[in-house]
Structure 1
């Protein structure tokens, strides 16, 4: 079956880096036609940025490839008058606009919600920012690490006698992307009922606060200043034995589990004196240290086998390199691969949402800068001579 749930939706994607591109990739995986607008020659910022070694001697960024599959690239100088005229020409055929520039940037260029919705009242216009559209932080840079610090997430992670620890992935940006998708799909549903478009606004700070609802619920309502435990439990409301434990050859995690069962498996009956709800919370650092003395005597696999057999909630700590070999990951087929014209086979994480009748698909790899400039615009009804004139003026770039 070739049909997909969003294959009748066209998205004009002004976004860059992670938040916006991840959101539009998720929609593209479900069939949406995403036209990514990029700067001529250099393309968007993630093409030049990488936390990893590049492929092909520095020409391909894993960061960019990770978030931009299933899209077409149109390289357009958005500051040129002719570019604005072109966008105004095609906007009546666009369903959704996505952008994550700082507030006010696209408005000054003539691509804000007011200008574009006047040309297409059914348009859904989704903006992502760091801190919203106004307020004391509106001019601050809205980057993932900064948001993790400001919202308390970093301060709640790691050991209490060490520095705050941010997560090992762009969590604020990825939560923001999910909120974009949530908002866009909600707005599409409303448009199907009402015929009306609307503006969707998402910001990283609000998103990360919302995803710490249970932690903030405890702190805001119980009137307690929860201190980050030395044991690194990193959760303001969890009792022992919740945490990470060292073994002879690695680490395991233990979540909410009957304490009496755990100490029986570990052979630590003397720790029964702690088996009281208030004690398990108040003395969780001490308890963690005592339990660790026992877990360090086990091999990881043997400890997991014993704990799982007893119904203890536990698991391994795995590196990214180990994840590919994980039997559940393999069973779910969450690591896939596809052909990239410059690199060859690229291993990637598969779509995480499964639909029985209109499944997500990886149809095309991340595009080259301006790879689809002429064809994408022609498909939207722009005259070929107009496209040729824009290329000749340098406003539009078509990759060779």
Structure 2
């Protein structure tokens, strides 16, 4: 028997694409929400055509799409077709949430803005995601993840001081934006339980990335001084030695906030204790890192980890994605899962990250094919077979082939 789900009575009309919106709706779907993903007939979500390393899961499916669209059903619908309003307004009558991340103004011009849905259902919660908000000098700019990382300081604060700014190696801005979407939606659902009122939510990547660098922004603004990236492997431009990434004989080890004297004691060179004062540990951190790194290179990763952990140094191995998959703690907590896809076969995925005792998140559906559930969804909302047949023949609605 399938366990109860925390959001099993919530219906989400998902008009989003690429990463920010789809990740947000996948998080809701993992908790049981009925997510109806609306896609373009024939083309679908743009992420279906994008991939990494020119590799396709099962030879046909985009890993980018599969990563963010499990537990959803796909309705393939041409938003410009006259039937689209009839269909989406009908769904909106009983839906709880609409999620979209088109450029500002696009859906409003098509008749699918917050005001349009609120007329149909005043309790609707309408969440929009954008790059920079819905007005201002950057309105026409593309709101892509790496561009936002560059604008908000995180790229400038990452990497070595003698090299270029370094973006984070994942779609960090989009994923932070997705978390803000979920945070806003769940807050709005709770408010609606008390007030009976729906509302509009606006999330933008620029604000999200600034908010998630709260301590760095506070320091820079209040002291009117930007962080300066060190030339060594210090892991954060505001931290002093020994914070950083250190080479070993066979890899790398990270060391976080830890007593310098204790770290030096493990490495066995007391001459370095001359640096053990707050001013030198920051001002001379590159010099110190070089001397420490020369010593850590004489240890294997396993040997150094064992010695550091024995004296309560905060440390960890640096692992690749494949090494992370095989990590014993990752295995222990069940962080990796899989599902069966009709064309891609067995797909390995990251499991839902939030564990709930009474309403657990589960992977119950693979990422859908374009229009795979068009007939099923339209039937649920009262459209008869003949009507749907006509729409399919016309091309305004599509189904999976």
| Length-normalised TM-score, structure 2 | 0.98
Map of 1:360 onto structure 2: 361
Q: Matched residue of 1:93: which SS?
A: coil
TM-aligned CA deviation for residue 88 of structure 1: 1.6
The 8 Å contact of residues 157 and 232 in structure 1, kept in 2 or not, is answered as no
Does the alignment pair 1:164 with 2:165? yes
Q: CA deviation at 1:337?
A: 1.4
- How far apart, CA to CA, are the structure 2 residues paired with 1:399 and 1:266? 62
The equivalent residue for 1:186 is 187
Asked whether the 8 Å contact 1:242–1:255 carries over to 2, the reply is: yes
Written as runs of structure 1 = structure 2, the 5 A alignment for 1:113-192 is 113-192=114-193
1:209 aligned onto 2:210: yes
Shift of 1:235: 2.1
What's 2:276 paired with?
Answer: 275
**Are the equivalent residues in 2 in contact too, given 1:130–1:204 (CA < 8 A)?**
yes
Whole-angstrom distance in 2 between the partners of 1:228 and 1:15: 37
How many angstroms does 1:85 deviate by?
Answer: 2.1
State the secondary structure of the residue aligned to 1:345: strand
Give deviations 1:317-348, integer Å, cap 9, x for gaps. 00001011100000001111121111222111
Whole-angstrom CA distance in 2 between matches of 1:386 and 1:279: 76
Give the gaps of 5 or more residues in structure 2. Answer: none
1:259 pairs with 2:245: no
User: Does 2:323 correspond to 1:338?
Assistant: no
Aligned mates of 2:234, 2:108 — CA distance in 1: 45
The question of whether the paired residues in 2 share the 8 Å contact of 1:218 and 1:236 is answered with: no
The alpha-carbon deviation at position 278 of structure 1 amounts to 1.9
Q: 3-state SS of the aligned residue for 2:28?
A: helix
Separation in structure 2 between the aligned mates of residue 177 and residue 207 of structure 1, nearest angstrom: 9
Once residues 70 and 165 of structure 1 are traced to their aligned partners in structure 2, the CA distance between those partners, rounded to angstroms, is 34
State the TM-score, normalizing by the size of structure 1: 0.98
Within 5 Å, which residues of 2 pair with 1:179-328?
179-328=180-329
Aligned to 2:42: 41
Measure, in 1, the Cα distance between the counterparts of 2:170 and 2:381. Answer: 37
Contact persistence 1:228–1:234 (CA under 8 A): no
Distance in 1 of aligned mates of 2:224 and 2:169: 30
Note if contact 2:145-2:174 (Cα within 8 Å) is conserved in structure 1. Answer: yes
Q: Which residue does the alignment assign to 1:66?
A: 67
For 1:247 and 1:260, how far apart are their aligned partners in 2? 20
* CA distance in structure 2 between the aligned counterparts of 1:258 and 1:355, rounded to whole angstroms: 37
1:77, distance to aligned residue in structure 2 (A)? 0.4
Q: Secondary structure at the match of 1:360?
A: coil
Paired residue secondary structure (1:157): coil
Greater than 4 Å deviation, 4+ residue runs: none
CA distance in 1, matches of 2:235, 2:324: 23
CA RMSD between the two structures: 1.0
Tell me if the contact between 1:215 and 1:236 (Cα under 8 Å) persists in the aligned partners: no
Counterparts of 2:232 and 2:222, CA distance in 1: 24
Query: For 2:12 and 2:51, how far apart are their aligned partners in 1?
Result: 26
Q: How far does the alpha carbon of each residue in 1:62-93 deviate from its partner, in whole angstroms, 9 at most, with x for none?
A: 11011000000000000111112221222111
Out of 84-93 and 267-276, give the one that drifted further.
84-93
Residue 54 of structure 1 aligns with which residue?
A: 56
Question: CA–CA distance in 2 between the matches of 1:210 and 1:234?
Answer: 20
Superposed displacement of residue 234, structure 1: 4.6
Distance 1:375 1:5 in 2: 23
Q: How many residues align?
A: 399
| Aligned match of 1:10 | 11
Q: Secondary structure at the match of 1:155?
A: coil
Residue pair 2:38, 2:76 contacting (<8 A) in 1 also:
yes
Structure 1 contact 183–200 (Cα < 8 Å) conserved: yes
1:384 maps to 2:385: yes
- What SS does structure 1 have at the residue aligned with 2:156? helix
Could you tell me how far 1:215 is from its partner in structure 2? 0.9
Residue pair 2:233, 2:246 contacting (<8 A) in 1 also: no
Question: Displacement, 1:221?
Answer: 1.0
Partner of 2:200: helix, strand, or coil?
Answer: strand
Displacement of 1:386 in angstroms is: 2.5
What is the Cα deviation at residue 389 of structure 1?
A: 2.2
